[in-house]
Amino acid sequence: MPPKRPDHLAPSTTDRPRFGAHMSIAGGVHRAIEAALLARMDTLQVFVKNQRQWTAPPLDTQDVARWHALLATPNFGPPVAHAAYLINLASADRQLYARSRQAFADELRRCQTLAIPYLVVHPGAAGEQTVSRAISRVAAALNRVFSEQPELTVMPLLETTAGQGTALGRSFAELGEILHQLDEPDRAGVCVDTCHVFAAGYDIRDPSAYEAMVAEADREVGLKRIRCWHLNDSRGDCGSHRDRHAHIGHGHIGNRGFAHVVGDPRFGGLPMILETPKGDTASGRDWDRANLQRLRTLATRARRR
């Protein structure tokens, strides 16, 4: 039997989005929360180790204690982590597949130590395999991780992708196929990235197209499994399959598309994370603050309608 899901893994009943951004852990993971609180964020996303390396030293106990103290800040959270980009749970290469699974299991344990309920991961790339074979390998990797670590309560979130190359996750149907092959499907969820779904062909600027996407997501994965959003505008047009993030309102999605997402009560209370470019050294502008302010304004206007 899977472990009982803690209350913090259930979507919040509030209709207010929880806005945050991906923050650096340079100097210690607790530094990320310090910066997020200074920027008046509601939550944040972090890497739980150096994302350019397969292995990392154990988490520092003092750093973990500081993280937990800051995480207890009233009305902050839930935090989200993002898995290293090196991980490919769909790989046909035995060595890379085993290394990816082991690295992912380690990141889940690190999240557990830090009381981070969600670990976002790209489903992986099929390479020369068929899509169905690659999907089965992702599911098999997750099944093994879950069976070997039954005590873990951290929920992996399969992220939607732009559909570039042989990347899995270009549709909710592909993510649904992975979830349907899990022995314990309630232990995994989905993260929706606005830039990625737009680049994959979901035109969230159009109200009817947005509703069609949500209906598809409900049918293929179930809305209760959507536990996080990545809010990024897109430098590429709809259906371009280009994973190129832009500041909110500065790309092809524009304010109209984001208003649909942040004003949707079906996703109220979920962490909504910016992965937009950081500061512009030439202008000195704090883009995280600017993007968050725009999102909050759009959310407020949507609630007033």
Any idea where the domains of the chain sit in the sequence? 23-304
pLDDT of residue 110: 98
| 82 part of the active site | yes
Whether 11 has a pLDDT exceeding 90, the answer reads: no
CATH class of this structure's domain 23-304:
alpha beta
Cis omega (within 30 of 0) for bond into 78: yes
DSSP state of 267: G
Whether 304 has a pLDDT exceeding 80, the answer reads: no
pLDDT of residue 293: 97
Instruction: Specify the 3-state DSSP secondary structure of 22.
Output: strand
Whether 68 has a pLDDT exceeding 70, the answer reads: yes
pLDDT of residue 302: 84
Question: What confidence category does residue 279 fall into, taking pLDDT thresholds of 50, 70 and 90?
Answer: low
- Mean pLDDT value of segment 7-13: 45
Residue whose C-alpha is closest to residue 20's, from 182, 262, 302:
262
pLDDT of residue 282: 52
Whether 284 has a pLDDT exceeding 70, the answer reads: no
Question: What confidence category does residue 303 fall into, taking pLDDT thresholds of 50, 70 and 90?
Answer: confident
One of 107, 159, 177, 264 is an active-site residue; which one?
159
| 34 part of the active site | no
- Mean pLDDT value of segment 51-79: 96
The residues, any chain, with a CB within 8 Å of residue 222's CB and separated by 6 or more, are none
Task: Dig out the tokens for 110 from the structure.
Answer: 């690190």
One of 30, 31, 82, 101 is an active-site residue; which one?
82
pLDDT digits (tens, 9 = 90+) for 202-246: 999 999 999 999 999 999 999 999 999 999 999 999 999 999 999
pLDDT of residue 16: 81
Task: Kindly state the percentage of the chain with pLDDT values over 70.
Answer: 93
Looking at every residue in the chain, the average pLDDT score rounds to 93
pLDDT digits (tens, 9 = 90+) for 163-201: 999 999 999 999 999 999 999 999 999 999 999 999 999
Would residue 40 be called left, alpha or beta, if left means φ above 0 and alpha means ψ between -120 and 50 degrees? left
| 122 part of the active site | yes
One of 137, 230, 247, 294 is an active-site residue; which one?
230
Would residue 54 be called left, alpha or beta, if left means φ above 0 and alpha means ψ between -120 and 50 degrees? alpha
| 22 part of the active site | no
One of 52, 94, 304, 305 is an active-site residue; which one?
52
What is the rounded distance in angstroms from the CA atom of residue 251 to the CA atom of residue 286?
18
What is the rounded distance in angstroms from the CA atom of residue 205 to the CA atom of residue 269?
22
pLDDT digits (tens, 9 = 90+) for 123-152: 999 999 999 999 999 999 999 999 999 999
| 196 part of the active site | yes
